Structure 1
Amino acid sequence: MYQTAALILVGVLALANLLFTFGVVRRLREHTAELADLRTGRLGVGGTDVALPEGATVGHFEAADVAGRPVTLTELGERPLVGFFSPHCGPCKERLPLFAEHAATRPGGPAEVLAVVVGTPDDTAEVVEQLLPVATVVVEADQGPLQRAFGVSGFPAFVLVEGGVVGASGFDFEPVASRDAAAAVPAAS
């Protein structure tokens, strides 16, 4: 009788272990898919788009740059490049030089490049100084009007706007820069 009970107990434990293992494998597959999305630069932390996805319409906004001049989407030209940065963000510090280098060679100059730095004026001073030669720079608080208009949920975020619609966006700058460079070739010819 004890042997039968022990055998049943071992069987139940083996079945529970098997179910647990299937659950772990399922979660690992989900995490693998999330990591792949993060590596492609399409998604931010938490698995959400870091900014509005391709094809989305940019919301209306009104802001002022660091010199006090008004900034609207229409004033940024037909194909503005927009970058969102936070001074306390490691990936922002890594990608900021790439953004600045690309912006410096972009047709249209700073008038068609918008850099949004999130934080207080004291916190953002160093980042603003790096971006001023190549972009129109706006400093705003977290969840400010520009972040809401572009659907920003993480930093850094990069958006290429084409005719009021998102042409490319992401956490990683290279895909956005590639799309921008490809679109600029016909305009330069």
Structure 2
Amino acid sequence: MAYVAAAAVLLGLLLVTNLILTVGVIRRLREHTTELAALRDNGSGGVDADVAMPAGSPVGGFDATSVTDLPVSLATLGERPLVGFFSPHCQPCKERLPAFVEYAGTRPGGRDAVLAVTIGGREETAALAELLGPVATVVVEPDQGPVQRAFGVSGFPAFVLVEEGVVAASGFDLAPVLDRDAVALPATG
């Protein structure tokens, strides 16, 4: 009987210790989630500012091939391309993708003036390429590929509006880039 009581006490102590550790881990995860959400919402800590080159930066040169085997460079995209960078494993990319596709589908210049860069292999980015293909020229490249380096992309998603080879607007959030594009579109006719 003494063994059963000792085993019950020991089991109880283990359960209490496990409960205390679990509560601590959950509390820490909540803190991290709150901090990440704050960074994404307001760009503090450099998240938004560092996702791509800032406005006024000249875009580097690059040569790539689209998923339809056409050559792609800054020159092939026209004077005012809209560029989006997406990763198939990125939740914010999935959240912003529908708005990008919707806007790109109505943008003057059509898919030839919109570039979508998916990061990864062809198989893992196939679903993204299928969604983006009707509204954009799609390039698949590995992380830190030539297009990503040309635009200074360091996070996903990243959106860049280029005017005559210079970044006009960029960011993690699509809205400010689209606002800048909407303002400039009437001026270009």
Q: TM-score range by the shorter chain?
A: 0.7 to 0.9
Partner of 2:139: 138
Letter in 1 for 2:152: G
Structure 2 Cα separation of the partners of residues 174 and 64 of structure 1: 28
Aligned-residue offset at 1:185: 1.6
1-side partners of 2:100 and 2:162: how far apart?
A: 15
RMSD (Å), alpha carbons = 2.0
* 1:84-134: CA deviation from partner (whole Å, max 9, x where unpaired): 000010000000110011101100000000000001111101000000000
For 1:174 and 1:162, the matched residues in 2 are separated by: 17
Contact 1:85-1:115 at 8 Å conserved across structures: yes
| Residue type of the alignment partner of 1:92 | C
Partner of 1:185: 186
After TM superposition, list the pairs within 5 Å mapping 1:74-89 onto structure 2. 74-89=75-90
TM-score (norm 2): 0.77
Counterparts of 1:41 and 1:83, CA distance in 2: 18
Note if contact 2:161-2:181 (Cα within 8 Å) is conserved in structure 1.
Answer: yes
Q: Which residue number corresponds to residue 15 of structure 1?
A: none
- Structure 1 partner of 2:68: 67
Q: What residue ranges of structure 1 are gaps of 5+ in the alignment?
A: 1-31
Change (3 A) 1:98 1:71: same
Alignment correspondent of 2:159:
158
Q: What residue in structure 2 maps to residue 18 of structure 1?
A: none
**TM-score normalised by L of structure 1:** 0.77
Change (3 A) 1:41 1:171: farther
Structure 1 runs of 4+ off > 3 angstroms? 34-38, 40-45
Q: What is the match of residue 127 of structure 2?
A: 126
Q: 2:116: which partner in 1?
A: 115
- Tell me, in whole angstroms, the C-alpha distance in 1 between the residues paired with 2:40 and 2:140: 27
Corresponding letter in the other structure for 2:64 = A
Distance 1:38 1:122 in 2: 29
Q: CA deviation at 1:187?
A: 2.3
Distance across 1 between alignment mates of 2:184 and 2:111: 18
Give the match's secondary structure for 1:104.
helix
What corresponds to 1:28 in structure 2? none
**Alpha-carbon distance in structure 2 between the residues aligned to 1:172 and 1:161:** 16
1:99 aligns with 2:100: yes
Letter in 1 for 2:120: G
Q: In structure 2, what residue type is equivalent to 1:106?
A: R
Superposition deviation, residue 39 in structure 1 = 2.4
Residues 120, 142 of structure 2: 8 Å contact kept? yes
Cα distance in 1 for partners of 2:38, 2:164 equals: 30
Alignment: residue pair count: 155
What is the rounded CA distance, in whole Å, between the counterparts of 2:63 and 2:150 in structure 1? 10
Identity %: 63
